[in-house]
Amino acid sequence: MRVSQLFTKTSKTAPADEVSKNAQLLIRGGYVYKEMAGVYAYLPLGIMVLENIKKIVREEMNAIQSNELIMTALQRQEIWEKTGRWSEEVVDIWFKTKLQDDTVLGLGWSHEEPIVEMLKNFVQSYKDLPISLYQFQTKMRNELRAKSGIMRGREFVMKDMYSFHATAEELETYYNETIDAYKRVYQRLGLGDDTYVTFASGGAFTKFSHEFQTICDAGEDVIYLHREKNIAINEEVIDEAIAELGINRDELEKVKTAEVGNIFNFGSQKTEEMGLQFTNNEGQLSPIYMGSYGIGITRVMGVIAEKFSDDKGLVWPEAIAPAQVYLAPIGTDEAVMLVADELYEVLTAAGIGVLYDDRDERPGAKFADADLLGIPLRVVISSKTVANAQYEVKSRTAAEPEMLDKAALLKRLGL
């Protein structure tokens, strides 16, 4: 993409009311636009990052045989009344609205109940199970406060997945497969080393649920961590977990984290409340076992922005960067522009994302933008590099650039 064709511009400042680092950096880079607290639009570069994250999540969910669909934001009262969760005393983050005939509708903050209701159309027999399905949905949650940028949105994108099984054992097996799939997701996103499967509060069916907690100073959670044993416990269940696991509190390290995923074993509680059953192979009506698995897509983007950034700006991991290369010709010398145009075409044709800074701007401004935007590799072309048939190449995290010839540059980019 040519920078001259991008309508966004970088900015040295963020809105005064924006206190979170992730949103400050993302707004300054033109990745997001703040519509109001907790409500952000995703601008062209922001969409690219979001889609890169979604692609990784989609691939891993498809790999565990889940089907993608998309449910609706507008939701019916009677569905949520079946589990008692329509009440604002039970769920305090509902947004509600009304049809013209005054029928009250809810705006989806979760899709557990609507998915179970929908499945009544598709599940009758044991032959119809297991089922796993997921969506990337824009959720609406009427949060009282929203000061963590895109890490806690009133409107945000979530991948939510639900699975349905004939037995508790089959659910357990799939639940563990999902833990592995989630680990692959965070690994690919560059968060693997800092993300822990964490014991968290469970429900009627299981003592604990599991959260995926990423070490992050801007996070809103606190976990207790045993790095050696790879055990993590949300502080809300620390006493029960210590007792259950037989570990010593002194061995645990207290760290601030952000919850980037959670998985929940509902057993058959929710399906029974909603009346979703199946006929087993002996002709008997039987309960269905259900799991629920979430990844906050926009939150993950925020956590990555928090963790991978420095005083110059963002530092995207390659897997989700909006482009791999920031291509910056210096000056408007014809020979320079020819070499830059040619490299842009070669890389683009090879499927390498390039942000081509074709503006007539001074070098310092281009370098500052390359840094703020956090593009993994900066390639500078000047009269001097052209004369030497070289390219000035600098990784976003390197202190100094290096000079590479074309073959070496292409090799560096895996071509």
Which single residue is written with the structure tokens 């809300």?
A: 236
Instruction: Answer yes or no: are the C-beta atoms of 116 and 281 closer than 8 Å.
Output: no
Instruction: Give me the helix-helix angle, 44-63 and 168-188, nearest 10°.
Output: 140
348 interacts with a second copy by CB under 8 A: no
Q: Which strands, in side-by-side order, build the sheet including 95-98?
A: 74-76, 104-107, 95-98
Q: How far is CA 37 from CA 15, 25, 41, 209, 380, in A?
A: 11, 16, 11, 30, 38
Structure-block tokens of residue 337: 């522009």
8 interacts with a second copy by CB under 8 A: yes
Q: How many residues does the chain have?
A: 415
Binding mask 71-100 for a second copy (x = CB under 8 A): xxxxxx------------------xxxxxx
3 interacts with a second copy by CB under 8 A: no
Of the pair 8, 201, the CB lying nearest a second copy is at 8
Stretch of 130-138, 188-196, 334-342, 369-377 lying at the interface with a second copy (CB under 8 A): 130-138
109 interacts with a second copy by CB under 8 A: no
Footprint of a second copy on 152-181 (CB under 8 A): 154-155
Residue 351 and residue 67: Cα distance in Å, rounded? 28
Binding mask 192-231 for a second copy (x = CB under 8 A): ----------------------------------------
Stretch of 124-132, 182-190, 214-222, 280-288 lying at the interface with a second copy (CB under 8 A): 124-132
Which single residue is written with the structure tokens 């906050």?
A: 296
122 interacts with a second copy by CB under 8 A: yes
388 interacts with a second copy by CB under 8 A: no
Instruction: Answer yes or no: are the C-beta atoms of 409 and 393 closer than 8 Å.
Output: yes
288 interacts with a second copy by CB under 8 A: no
350 interacts with a second copy by CB under 8 A: no
Which conformational region is residue 261 in: left (phi greater than 0), alpha (psi within -120 to 50 degrees), or beta? beta
Of the pair 140, 379, the CB lying nearest a second copy is at 140
Of the pair 15, 363, the CB lying nearest a second copy is at 15
Of the pair 50, 413, the CB lying nearest a second copy is at 50
133 interacts with a second copy by CB under 8 A: yes
Peptide bond into 317 cis (omega under 30): no
Footprint of a second copy on 28-67 (CB under 8 A): 30, 33, 35-36, 39-44, 46-47, 65, 67
Instruction: Give me the helix-helix angle, 44-63 and 297-307, nearest 10°.
Output: 120
69 interacts with a second copy by CB under 8 A: yes
7 interacts with a second copy by CB under 8 A: yes
What 8-state DSSP symbol labels residue 99?
Answer: -
Residue 185 and residue 201: Cα distance in Å, rounded? 23
Query: Considering the complex, what minimum distance in angstroms separates the CB of residue 117 from a second copy?
Result: 9
Query: Considering the complex, what minimum distance in angstroms separates the CB of residue 123 from a second copy?
Result: 8
277 interacts with a second copy by CB under 8 A: no
Answer for which of 19, 55, 59, 68 binds a second copy (CB under 8 A) is: 68
128 interacts with a second copy by CB under 8 A: yes
Q: Partners of 36 in the beta sheet?
A: 39
**Dihedral Cα 119, 121, 127, 130, nearest 10 deg:** -10
- A 10 A CB-CB count for 51 gives 15
H helix or E strand, kind and range, residue 114: helix 112-119
User: Which positions touch a second copy (CB under 8 A)?
Assistant: 5-9, 11, 30, 33, 35-36, 39-44, 46-47, 65, 67-76, 95-100, 105, 107, 114, 118-119, 121-122, 128, 131-133, 138, 140, 142-144, 154-155
